[in-house]
Chain A
């Protein structure tokens, strides 16, 4: 039964029909506590749609969604703040839940955004805003984090640091993470389970399984597959230091 209790959200063969077109169809996935599940796929493949189905933004769907938690932190792909609303980072942090000042500071410093606390949201750069969004989602100590392209616009070094942070958060809070990303190689290193979408589930499994999959190769090209094998190769290499078989 304990395994059952670890499941945070379970999608069973879900699909969404809009204007007589299936945005996604036949997607099944589960996110468990402490697990990072990543959705990859080309533009328009239904990654964001799947995430929105999982957290209940899209209603009137086919199939079944079972949610076992209400403590959800969400970083949407696109968010525009209207200039008519004077909003500082500080106000934005407590948007959906009241937090103590310490909790706000802690979350902001976690994502390297503590210096932005009193800045107006409209004056942030894309990368800064992304850090604030992530901090806000994490600050509520959610059980399920849904991150839709969480590091877009963040500089390269920051990107690596934030992915590392996401991994740390999943361990520290023991929360489940549903991650959407374009950066295949960076994401793969921290992911437990990958779903490759293209309107339907094209393939799924561990990062290694997916990289080997022929459909994946067709979708992303040989090169993408190699990106992953490079990663896997590194993995093998560290093993070889322990005296295991050396591979090239």
Chain B
């Protein structure tokens, strides 16, 4: 069944969409889209490490992204720079260092475009196992920390005062972010991962009045984007990642009409 590259890509994309939906909601609620971008940029460094030391790409990305996240937390505590400046500093440094290292690895040939924008042809059965296995672990952990994470997203002090330990939840969530980037890089590519996290969620926000609905719609939006994107990628021979994100954008634009309707109804 998984012999066909397209089936593999679909199964992989669906697996990714199930995880980016709920995580994307927290990215939007906690205003972490640039944080996601920074982790994704650092993934390039992870890829080069994987190639240099011949280890699994997903594991390598996961490790590098986690290290970058830890460095960010340390810098936030020890410098007077604003958060967005630190994010920019780390994102571009990681990207630059990654590209420099690639320059040194001239003996290895690999597809930079596929890395940046995703490549459905490259999805193999091992990737499927990582996506679905890793995705399941991410969702289970997210379910476990949901209460403290959500409460501290609404109000940190309330969560802290009432004994929910929001700092621990935040740290675990950061690791989950690194993990989702690691498992979804082959599908959407490192430049577009944040789009996969944010755009279906943005669409969901337009349609929802409760957090639960927003998570569900966000997953549905992601699934639809993957389906539409991959089929059109096959049909028009476009890169898979941009096609998925363009489909998500299309859904987002449609959802804007729904807002317009509700506003008119209210008036």
Question: Which A residues have a C-beta under 8 Å from some C-beta of B?
Answer: 52, 55-57, 70, 72-74, 76, 79, 81-82, 84-88, 91-92, 95-97, 120, 140, 146
Known: A79-B155, A96-B162. A88 touches B29 (CB 8 A): no
* Cβ contact within 8 Å between A55 and B209: no
* Cβ contact within 8 Å between B211 and A74: no
A70–B160 CA distance with the chains assembled, in angstroms: 11
Tell me the smallest distance from the CB of B153 to a CB of chain A, in Å. Answer: 7
* Cβ contact within 8 Å between B29 and A82: yes
A156–B158 CA distance with the chains assembled, in angstroms: 27
Q: Which residues of A contact B211 (CB under 8 A)?
A: 85-87, 91
* Cβ contact within 8 Å between A96 and B164: yes
- Does B157 touch A at the CB level, under 8 Å? yes
- Known: A91-B211, A140-B162; 18 extra A-B contacts, CB below 8 A, are A52-B157, A52-B161, A55-B161, A56-B161, A57-B161, A73-B162, A74-B161, A76-B157, A76-B158, A79-B157, A85-B153, A86-B213, A87-B154, A91-B210, A95-B154, A95-B158, A96-B147, A146-B161
* Cβ contact within 8 Å between A72 and B163: yes
* Cβ contact within 8 Å between B162 and A84: no
- Does B150 touch A at the CB level, under 8 Å? yes
- Does B28 touch A at the CB level, under 8 Å? yes
Tell me the smallest distance from the CB of A88 to a CB of chain B, in Å. Answer: 6
A48–B163 CA distance with the chains assembled, in angstroms: 18
A74–B158 CA distance with the chains assembled, in angstroms: 6
- Does B208 touch A at the CB level, under 8 Å? yes
A32–B213 CA distance with the chains assembled, in angstroms: 42
Q: Which residues of A contact B161 (CB under 8 A)?
A: 52, 55-57, 72, 74, 76, 146
Q: What per-residue 1/0 map shows which CB atoms of B163-205 lie under 8 Å from chain A? A: 1100000000000000000000000000000000000000001
* Cβ contact within 8 Å between A81 and B154: yes
How many chain B residues touch A (CB < 8 A): the figure is 25
Which one, A57, A73, A84, contacts B157 given CB within 8 A?
A57
Tell me the smallest distance from the CB of B189 to a CB of chain A, in Å. Answer: 26
* Cβ contact within 8 Å between A74 and B157: yes
Tell me the smallest distance from the CB of B197 to a CB of chain A, in Å. Answer: 14
Q: What per-residue 1/0 map shows which CB atoms of B130-163 lie under 8 Å from chain A? A: 0000000000000000010011011101111111
* Cβ contact within 8 Å between B162 and A120: no
Known: A85-B153, A86-B211. A72 touches B158 (CB 8 A): no
A76–B158 CA distance with the chains assembled, in angstroms: 7
Which one, A84, A96, A120, contacts B159 given CB within 8 A?
A96
* Cβ contact within 8 Å between B155 and A86: no
* Cβ contact within 8 Å between B210 and A88: yes
Q: Which residues of B contact A76 (CB under 8 A)?
A: 155, 157-158, 161
Q: List 30 A-B contacts (CB under 8 A).
A: A52-B157, A52-B161, A57-B160, A72-B161, A72-B163, A74-B157, A74-B158, A74-B162, A76-B155, A79-B155, A79-B157, A79-B158, A82-B29, A84-B31, A85-B153, A85-B211, A86-B208, A86-B209, A86-B211, A87-B211, A91-B210, A91-B211, A91-B212, A95-B150, A95-B154, A96-B159, A96-B162, A96-B164, A97-B162, A140-B162
Q: Which residues of A contact B205 (CB under 8 A)?
A: 84, 86
Complex A-B, nearest 10 residue pairs according to Cβ-Cβ distance, in ascending order: A74-B161, A96-B162, A55-B161, A95-B151, A85-B29, A86-B209, A70-B163, A57-B160, A86-B208, A96-B151
